[in-house]
Structure 1
Amino acid sequence: MVAILTLAPLGASIVFYEYDLSIRYLAVVFVLSFFAIPLARLSVPVQVQINEALVVSLPLLLS
């Protein structure tokens, strides 16, 4: 998801001829995609217990 969001600044840096910055954005897109694509294919757990759901949602509720 973050790799897709990085494509907008990458496109802007190419349009404004900032090629040094474009290379950095392109590296960020590749690194994020390298880690995100394998993790996106993980299977979703079928059964989540109540305590597991609370552990996952508690930091979101406290922030």
Structure 2
Amino acid sequence: MSTQTSMAQEAAGDPSAAAPSAPAPPEGLFGRGLRLIVSYVRMHPGPFFVSVTGAIVFAFAS
């Protein structure tokens, strides 16, 4: 009986009966900024690692 009920709910368009979807991406300003930084690193990983290395050298030198 429960199978028929869930099939009827899906046919009726009940969103609570749908299968759980993937987790939602991070919301808000922090999540948007983090996604932006990750996309830049994926596009140009070399300059990113050079800049991080330079920042580390500067931190130890000062």
Give the structure-1-normalised TM-score: 0.30
Using CA pairs under 8 Å that are at least 6 residues apart, name the structure with larger relative contact order, 1 or 2. Answer: 1
Give the structure-2-normalised TM-score: 0.30
